[in-house]
Amino acid sequence: MRGHHVQALLMGGQACVFYGAAEFSRDTDLAILADSENLSRLQSALDELQARVIAIPKFDPSYLHAGHAIHFRCQHPEAVGMRVDIMSKMRGVAPFPALWERRTTFEMPDGTLCDLLSLPDLVLAKKTQRDKDWPMIRRLVEAHHFNHRDDPNPEQIDFWLRELRTPSLLIQTVAAWPEEAKQQASLRPLLAHAILNNEEALATALREEEQTERLLDREYWLPLKQELEKLRMNREG
């Protein structure tokens, strides 16, 4: 992707590894800019990987703009069988140009650079109806908290107040930064339970918050799944 100058951001399980919340994944999930120039560069990269579409929908900008994922399987000798999934639009996540501006770039041991969704954007992208994503969100935010809690900046504090899912850590964070907590409480009402040190009520509110996000994700994907089903029936017919 870098060799072909594709604007692409790693997300999914492999991105979680970079952020210290290890998750095994055979797939490479990418958020991409779905304009004509970038899609042309992406096609060149996919051609080099000998990647072919393995499911519906086909590789078409209209499906990316609608929010679908497009799935590829690589046949290059150095990437045989690797699956690459690309998306351009996700529920609750900013448009790609904003994601690109606040991306995180990691340098791997061999000097290769890898562009990722920023951690806050990755957390938002993980708020799905899938069971496995919610423990991962918790681990991602916890890892970030433990790595930066001794000398955090205002953006990091606000991130923890918005996204921590561990009741005890959320209560500690609210106690450490009470003014910031009061400001964030208007956006995340369950912080009121943390301010009152009511761990039981906070745990219940966190479960309810998760269920709300799962429902919103289910509603978001319903018309997309219906569209996929129509495409599948047309292809089989």
Domain boundary assignment for the chain: 8-122, 133-219
Residue 237 scores a pLDDT above 60: no
Which pLDDT does position 15 carry in this prediction?
93
Q: Rounded CA gap, 206 and 86, in Å?
A: 30
User: Thinking of the domain 8-122, which architecture would CATH place it in?
Assistant: Roll (3.10)
The gap from C-alpha 120 to its chain's centroid, in whole angstroms, comes to 8
Residues linked to residue 113 through DSSP beta bridges, in sequence order: 107
C-beta neighbour count of 112 within 10 angstroms: 9
CA-wise closest residue to 130 among 12, 223, 217, 230:
217
Which pLDDT does position 20 carry in this prediction?
84
Residue 39 scores a pLDDT above 90: yes
Ramachandran angles phi, psi of 5, nearest 5°: 60, 40
Q: CA Rg, the chain, in Å?
A: 20
Residues sharing a CB contact under 8 Å with residue 30, sequence separation 6 or more, in sequence order: 1, 8, 9, 10, 11, 84, 85, 86, 87
Residue 66 scores a pLDDT above 70: yes
Which token pair is 72?
A: 């590829």
Residue 25 scores a pLDDT above 80: no
Instruction: Answer whether 135's CB lies under 8 Å from 118's CB.
Output: no
Provide the whole-model pTM: 0.94
- Three-class DSSP category at 114: strand
Residue 181 scores a pLDDT above 60: yes
- How far is CA 199 from each of CA 73, 169, 171, 190, 194, rounded to the nearest angstrom? 46, 10, 8, 11, 7
